[in-house]
């Protein structure tokens, strides 16, 4: 377990002018540990977002950070000079000029300049917010479409291989290592009944492009004053993928007004007006580059990716909560239940979603 003092020591390893004033835990991600580090530069405060990379999950930090360096410098090259530093994450360099450092315990740290006057949301609050977040992720895909070769590293191989996620669930069920199968019997049945759905995206011959792969609403910063989407963050999973992976995770997190672990399932709804906003925002940019097959794949994307996320939470629950951070007992099962409720909603409204996509811009 790392302490805030460890984080403070790591922050000192970066070449930032001024004195480190404070370091405090920040954000609500499920994987890495994030901190806000404040430096005092002669009376002027400068903030940074310091992160300890979860190397249990990302076991090749050099490859991971090489991806992030390539992606951020490509994006920075495209951002206009005015406001450019707010539109792209900027890595702080270590004292010896590297993009990350390893501490004495083998923990890996990196630090970004803090983007001020912007914030992320854990739960979507309005249509315009969904539109802006989706547009920002569309822009992100557009700007990375001409990333020069070589292909990015697959930081987590088969990350969105929904069939493999189902296989992993089956292994967890077979092992029943924590004796939790019985409590999750309904959710297990729900997932196993949908084997066909898991094969709708992967293996369908869709083109590979650079995708973000973790496009939940909390991974985009919106300007506090204008509400505009300004910067896509959390770049760990940026790698080769399908446009539908990103669109599907937007549908999962931007069309439903309930928290990811909501226990009152009557609150877990797919709101058509929000879906229109997500489709409108994303396609306002992506209509310009998607192939016909990619565009058709968007109608199933929400169900597949929401099902996949539910399968992942359920697997982790059965395996003893080893992957996703939990803050209370049963949280991963609650998360899985909420995802599966949303899958039902998406299934019920599939035709209406298709009509929206057919009628959307482009
Ligand atoms: P995790 O992988 O744990 O989700 P993120 O990279 O998404 O970590 O960061 C966690 C939170 O910190 C984000 O939801 C966002 O609110 C905030 N954040 C991340 N990067 C920055 C940044 N450069 N400037 C300001 N806030 C940031
Ligand atoms: C994790 O890091 P964070 O919290 O943004 C996970 C995503 C899941 C998400 C569910 C590397 O994302 O794949 O969709 O939780 N990231 C990784 O909230 O597994
Ligand atoms: Mg995040």
Q: Is the pLDDT of residue 295 over 80?
A: yes
pLDDT at 84: 75
Residue-wise pLDDT for 343-362, tens only, equals: 999 999 999 999 999 988 65
∠ CA 160-308-361 to the nearest 5 degrees? 75
pLDDT at 81: 67
For ligand 2, the distance from its centroid to the CA atom of residue 214, given in whole angstroms, is 6
Residue of 38, 120, 140 with the most ligand 1 atoms within 8 Å of its CB, for mutation: 120
User: What are the start-end ranges of the H helices in the chain?
Assistant: 4-12, 61-78, 84-87, 127-144, 162-175, 185-192, 195-198, 243-254, 272-286, 292-318, 331-348, 350-359
Residue-wise pLDDT for 69-122, tens only, equals: 999 999 999 987 667 789 999 999 999 999 999 999 999 999 999 999 999 999
For ligand 3, the distance from its centroid to the CA atom of residue 42, given in whole angstroms, is 32
Q: CB within 6 Å of ligand 2 — which residues?
A: 29-31, 214, 216, 219, 234, 236-237, 260, 309
Average pLDDT over residues 288-311: 98
Distance CA 187, CA 185 (A): 6
Q: Which residues surround ligand 3, an ion (CB under 5 A)?
A: 29, 219, 234
Q: Among 312, 226, 305, 302, which Cα is nearest to 271's?
A: 302
Helix (H, G, I), strand (E, B) or coil at 112: strand
Q: Among 184, 183, 181, 182, which Cα is nearest to 173's?
A: 181
pTM strictly above 0.95: yes
Q: Would you list the domain boundaries of the chain?
A: 4-116, 127-360
Q: What is the CATH number of domain 4-116?
A: 3.30.200.20
> What is the H or E stretch that residue 223 is in?
strand 220-223
Nearest protein CA to atom 14 of ligand 1, as residue: 218
Reading the block at residue 35, the tokens are: 């901190």
Q: Which CATH class is domain 127-360?
A: alpha beta
Q: Among 322, 304, 301, which Cα is nearest to 313's?
A: 322
Return the higher-pLDDT residue of 82 and 253. 253
52 falls in which pLDDT band (50, 70, 90)? very high
Query: Is any atom of ligand 1 closer than 6 Å to the C-beta of 114?
Result: yes
């Amino acid at each position: 377990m790392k302490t805030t003092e460890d984080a403070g020591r790591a922050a000192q390893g970066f070449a930032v002018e001024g004195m480190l004033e404070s370091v405090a835990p920040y954000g609500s991600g499920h994987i890495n540990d994030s901190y806000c580090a404040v430096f005092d530069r002669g009376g002027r405060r400068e903030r940074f977002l310091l992160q300890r990379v979860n190397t249990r999950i990302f076991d090749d930090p050099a490859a991971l950070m090489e991806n992030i360096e390539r992606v951020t410098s490509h994006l920075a090259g495209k951002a206009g000079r005015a406001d450019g530093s707010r539109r792209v994450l900027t890595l702080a360099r270590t004292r010896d000029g590297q993009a990350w450092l390893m501490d004495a315990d083998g923990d890996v740290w990196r630090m970004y300049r803090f983007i001020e006057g912007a914030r992320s949301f854990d739960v979507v609050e309005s249509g315009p917010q969904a539109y802006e977040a989706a547009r920002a992720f569309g822009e992100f895909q557009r700007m990375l479409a001409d990333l020069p070769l070589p292909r990015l590293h697959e930081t987590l191989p088969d990350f969105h291989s929904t069939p493999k996620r189902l296989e992993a669930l089956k292994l967890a069920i077979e092992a029943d290592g924590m004796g939790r199968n019985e409590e999750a019997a309904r959710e297990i049945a729900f997932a196993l009944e949908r084997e066909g759905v898991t094969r709708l995206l992967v293996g369908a011959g869709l083109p590979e492009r650079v995708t973000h792969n973790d496009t939940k609403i909390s991974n985009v910063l919106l300007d506090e004053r204008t509400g505009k989407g300004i910067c896509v963050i959390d770049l760990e999973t940026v790698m080769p993928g399908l446009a539908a992976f990103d669109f599907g995770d937007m549908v999962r997190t931007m069309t439903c007004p309930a928290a990811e672990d909501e226990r009152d399932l009557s609150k877990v709804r797919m709101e058509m007006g929000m879906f229109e906003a997500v489709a409108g925002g994303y396609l306002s940019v992506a209509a310009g580059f998607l192939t016909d097959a990619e565009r058709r794949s968007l109608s199933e994307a929400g169900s597949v990716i929401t099902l996949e996320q539910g399968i992942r939470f359920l697997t982790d629950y059965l395996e003893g909560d080893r992957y996703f951070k939990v803050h209370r007992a049963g949280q991963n099962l609650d998360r899985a239940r909420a995802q599966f409720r949303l899958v039902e909603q998406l299934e019920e409204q599939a035709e209406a979603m298709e009509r929206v996509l057919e009628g959307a811009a482009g």
